[in-house]
A = this chain, B = another copy of it.
């Protein structure tokens, strides 16, 4: 397997609140053609450290990609330092200079003098067009290593990588196709899932399987490789089918779709409408559903009934239910679901009431206790759940469980 290193350049990337998203994107793209990223460096606008980073990486790895530091200012040192690290000259390329001048002219402005340094090209390097900015990229084969110097802004870096660099690297990697499929699972824990499916996936090296728990959902990542896309898809399909046999409806997404997208699609296809009544989630369910473009087709109305008054007045919950069972109870959840369905004239009413914390819990009704209910014109059902975590996680998990209840009804 070919090995790659990624070097992200720029002092601003060393701040405590900046993540290097370019390298994550590049890693994904490189993995897809069967190239493994072995090391990532983030370095400031620092000549000596950058020179060493480039020298080391070119010696160690067969693919080196740098991002950033190609701008027109003094801080933009990548071209100069890379030339030195590779022991090559830096030459002014008249054609590139003309292109940069033309770019400014097209905005009706003269080219600032300092931009001329963006026309400096490392001897032997190919110049990569930048349709979205003034910094061209550079690509060269140095001894056994392919080196690409790309700009930092994602909207300049990404098309340049995909159009010029990716095809070359793919060829070098033997035109391997590597595809990843993400299955998302609801209503089951990581270990329970692993216990069920480990006997299946452990029989395969290709696809390889990883189970990830990302704090809110469990994902099963399948990665397969082969010579053609269709052969890879066949491998993925075969394993997916076997996993689905074991996990059944618990898998809600086969292509990385979110729960709200899946629910929205099912509602759309059945031409159903939905109204939502929320207490502890405070609008989160509605917000997730309406984040999906086109949701106005099926989402009619939401009520956030935080106070008991709102539960009575807007949702028609009988005061006696609140008195006898409390706001966080199965009868109130069901009454909320029925109430909002009738108010909106919707096919489905989905409701949630619970205790998100940090305060408000008791021995009988602890923080994390949630009732969800679903009503249609035939029946109303509920589920009682207890979620671990802080306020944010409890609310998120509760919203997921409510959406999942609706999803299962729609199957």
A residues neighboring B (CB under 8 Å): 14-19, 24-25, 27-28, 31, 37-44, 46, 48-49, 52-53, 56, 60, 212, 276, 278, 281-287, 289-291, 293-296, 299-307, 309-310, 313-314, 343-345, 357-360, 391-392, 395
Contact = CB atoms under 8 A, between A and B. Distances in A.
Copies in the complex: 2
Nearest to A273: B307
Contact of A301 (B15, B314, B358): B314
Among A15, A25, A276, A281, chain B packs the most CB atoms within 10 A around the CB of: A15
B53 A49 contact: no
Given A302-B283, A395-B291, A16 B28 contact: yes
B28 A24 contact: no
A358 B309 CA distance: 37
Contacts of A15: 27
A212 B49 CA distance: 26
A14 B210 CA distance: 14
Contact of A38 (B49, B299, B310): B49
Contacts of A24: 16-19
Nearest to A301: B310
Nearest to A286: B283
A304 B305 contact: no
Nearest to A344: B310
A14 B35 CA distance: 12
Given A27-B14, A38-B49, A309-B345, A303 B304 contact: yes
26 contacts: A14-B38, A15-B27, A18-B24, A19-B24, A39-B43, A39-B46, A39-B53, A41-B41, A49-B60, A56-B56, A281-B290, A282-B291, A282-B295, A283-B285, A290-B304, A291-B392, A291-B395, A293-B357, A294-B359, A296-B307, A299-B306, A301-B305, A302-B302, A309-B344, A309-B345, A314-B343
A210 B366 CA distance: 44
B39 A41 contact: yes
